[in-house]
Amino acid sequence: MDVFAIIIAALFADNFVLSQFLGICPFLGVSKKISSAAGMGLAVTAVMVITCAVCYPIYTFLLAPLGLQYLNILVFILVIAALVQILEMVLKRFSPGLYSAMGIYLPLVTTNCAILGIAKIVTAVAASEAEAGYTLDVIFGKFVNIHMAMGYGEAVLSGLFYGLGFTLAIVLLAGLRIKADKLHVAKALKGFPITMLAACFMAMAFYVFTLI
């Protein structure tokens, strides 16, 4: 698969938050300040890369040969929870600076649907390859479904760039929210509604990339 296609799709056309609606809870909840938004984005990106790196081999070399694909939800969620826990401990021990930047967001990442989503996506692509069906255009956006051949490297790479796409969206939204706080808005629109309106305009901007 074309690496450039993955990057463009993951960052813009197929952005996790603004076109696939995955990870909306942290997107709305942790975007009050740019620093916390960046921390959350970093945490999500780190966990996504690790998840792809671990869940992909587990699925292709363990679950699929044994015919246990139906256990994927249970296995993935346990693996993700364990990985997040380990990552938190490692960061706390070896890199206190990084831990203070993104550590407190790590427990929240476990129940972020973007993480389980990326695990499902990369393994679904792998499974469809095994069955020699190359039409997964429902899951991926316009860019990627042209050449659908996903190996281990591409799975990890898409984890990285989908994570960065999430970070991009959440940091942009944090900036917009700081501006929106200074505006006089109707009382009914304060809080969630005005944030979602900001997200609506961002989604419009990102939608343009799918038209190219």
Partner 1 sequence: MKLQRFKEIALDGTVRQNPTFRLVLGTCPTLALTTAAIKCLGMGAAVIFVLVFSNLIISLLRNVIPDKVRIPCFIVIIATFVTVVSMFIEAFLPSLYESLGMYLALIVVNCIILGRAESFASHNPVLDSVCDGLFMGIGFTLSLTLMGIVREVLGKGMLFGATLWNFKIEFFAKPAGAFLTYALFIAIFNVCYNAVERKLKHKAAHKAAVAEHQTESAVAITKEA
Applying CB under 8 A, the residues found at the interface with partner 1 are 18-25, 28, 70-74, 77-78, 81, 111-113, 115-117, 120-121, 124, 138-139, 186, 188-189, 192-194, 196-197, 199-201, 203-204, 206-207
Choose between 23 and 41: whose C-beta lies nearer to partner 1: 23
Radius of gyration (C-alpha) of the chain in whole angstroms: 18
Nearer Cβ to partner 1 (120/177): 120
Give buried/exposed letters for 67-104 (b at 16+ CB in 10 A, else e).
Answer: eeeeebeebbeebbeebbeebbeebeeeeeebbebbbe
Count of beta carbons in the 10 Å neighbourhood of residue 38: 16
Nearer to partner 1, 75 or 98 (CB): 75
| Shorter beta-carbon distance to partner 1: residue 66 or 94 | 66
Cα 20 from Cα 22, distance rounded (Å): 6
**Least spacing, CB of residue 200 vs partner 1, in Å:** 4
Q: How far is the CB of 13 from partner 1 (least distance, A)?
A: 11
Phi-psi region of 22 (alpha: psi -120 to 50; beta: other; left: phi over 0): beta
Q: Minimum distance between the CB of residue 209 and partner 1, rounded to whole angstroms?
A: 12
What minimum distance in Å lies between the beta carbon of 149 and partner 1? 21
Which of 18, 14, 13 has the alpha carbon at shortest distance from 169? 18
When the beta carbons of 157 and 169 are compared against partner 1, the nearer one is: 169
